[in-house]
Amino acid sequence: QKEVEQNSGPLSVPEGAIASLNCTYSDRGSQSFFWYRQYSGKSPELIMSIYSNGDKEDGRFTAQLNKASQYVSLLIRDSQPSDSATYLCAVILNRDDKIIFGKGTRLHILP
Amino acid sequence: EPEVTQTPSHQVTQMGQEVILRCVPISNHLYFYWYRQILGQKVEFLVSFYNNEISEKSEIFDDQFSVERPDGSNFTLKIRSTKLEDSAMYFCASSEAIFRDRGLYEQYFGPGTRLTVT
């Protein structure tokens, strides 16, 4: 069974601090990794994609991938109240079309 | 900025009725998808569609479901005889998928249709 695991939270982080979100996946064949943000009642919004081992930075967001450990993370620097949402880790297997989503981590930024 | 659109935003139907959910993918995208999310649960893949045919489908996507691209812009999901357990948010997504074999494609989601089956 191909799974994506995330801590459901809630993860509470003070405003201005770094939020660290983690995700593990079970299938070594996974090739593409994404972080989506989902506000309550809304659709998933793509915020980061990463395909190679290492770090990828985009503004306040940094995605980190370690394929050997089957681990992907998202760091949010200078957290803002508007970052409060559920963050979905998602993976795509090699030559697959479908995204396999984790259940998401609820992030709460404390003003 | 181009975006995926979906109609209606909310559909209420009686058990056993047929529903059609509509999507307009991003115009230069080649791959189209349907996902669903039951309240409080994770987003689940239903089907992917490319070159006017289904490329992959999940166990959820049984004979009750069908997809169609009736013209150059719309992508539809039909549920023939709805059941109570079909109540969920249904999301359409699309991707450009130029470098599919390298996995270099990103899926963009529409705002969703909330389906309520009574």
Tell me how far apart the alpha carbons of residues B56 and B50 are, in angstroms, rounded to a whole number. 9
Q: B56 vs chain A: nearest CA distance in angstroms?
A: 7
Average pLDDT, integer, range B9-36: 95
pLDDT, tens digit, for every residue of B66-77?
A: 999 988 889 999
pLDDT, tens digit, for every residue of A89-109?
A: 999 876 666 789 999 999 999
Tell me how far apart the alpha carbons of residues A68 and B82 are, in angstroms, rounded to a whole number. 44
Least confident range from A82-91, B59-68, B101-110: namely B101-110
Using the Cβ of A102 and the Cβ atoms of chain B, whether some distance falls under 8 Å is answered with: yes
Closest partner CB to A99 (pick from B45, B104, B111):
B45
Q: A49 vs chain B: nearest CA distance in angstroms?
A: 8
- DSSP assignment of A11-79 equals EEEETTS-EEEEEEES-TTEEEEEEEEE-TTS--EEEEEE-SSEEEEETTEEEEEETTTTEEEEEESS-
3-state secondary structure of A81: helix
Q: pLDDT band at residue A1, thresholds of 50, 70 and 90?
A: low
> Does B43 sit within 8 Å of A44, measured CB to CB?
yes
Are β-strands B113-117 and B10-13 bridged in parallel, bridged antiparallel, or unpaired?
A: parallel
* Residues of chain B neighbouring A100 (CB-CB closer than 8 A): 45
DSSP bridge pairs for B91: B35
Tell me how far apart the alpha carbons of residues A44 and B80 are, in angstroms, rounded to a whole number. 26
> Does B111 sit within 8 Å of A97, measured CB to CB?
no
Interface of A with B in 29-68 (CB under 8 A): 31-32, 34, 36, 42-46, 49, 51
